[in-house]
Amino acid sequence: MPLPISHPHQRYSVSGYQETDLPSGAVAWSVNLLRYGQGFGLATDHGLGGPVDWAFTDSGYGREFLTAAAELHPGAANPGDVLVEELITIRQLNALEEVAYCLDDDRFEERGEHRVAEPGRSFLDVRRELASRFADRNPRIWDKSVSAMVPVAPEPPATPAG
């Protein structure tokens, strides 16, 4: 079931993601922030281990974004950082041509770790394979219709014809 339009994952999105590999091995990145498709700021992670820097072109929408992030992630030290990282992941996975999925040993929630099926495989084919071959590893598959990893239920046993 899709999230309501008022949910932060529906209200906000990102565009123009850019990253730079730093000599230290860290990655710096920046991304434009959108509210219902209209830009209202920029988020930048300088790759130095600190919180994300915010540059809001509309301070009201910036406050609204950070408030929504705090409500969505009340236990996070930097809830805005968590929300923008989720929005980046959503954008990247929705843009994939291949089907993304994860198993229980992937750290999708913490680090966005996921796997990608071979090119040309359909969502239903990948779902069936996950249900039959990896049922014991709690498979989840990226469902673009809801922009989320969703559990793959085991395939029901085939009923004999007759």
> What pTM value is reported for the model?
0.84
pLDDT at 79 over 60: yes
| pLDDT tens-digit map of 103-150 | 998 988 887 889 999 999 999 999 999 999 999 999 999 999 888 999
How much of the chain exceeds pLDDT 70, in percent?
Answer: 92
The pLDDT value recorded for residue 107 is 87
Residues with Cβ within 8 Å of 99's Cβ and at least 6 positions away in sequence, in order, are 116, 117, 121, 122, 123, 126, 141, 142
d(CA 109, CA 98): 20
Q: Residue for token digits 């710096």?
A: 28
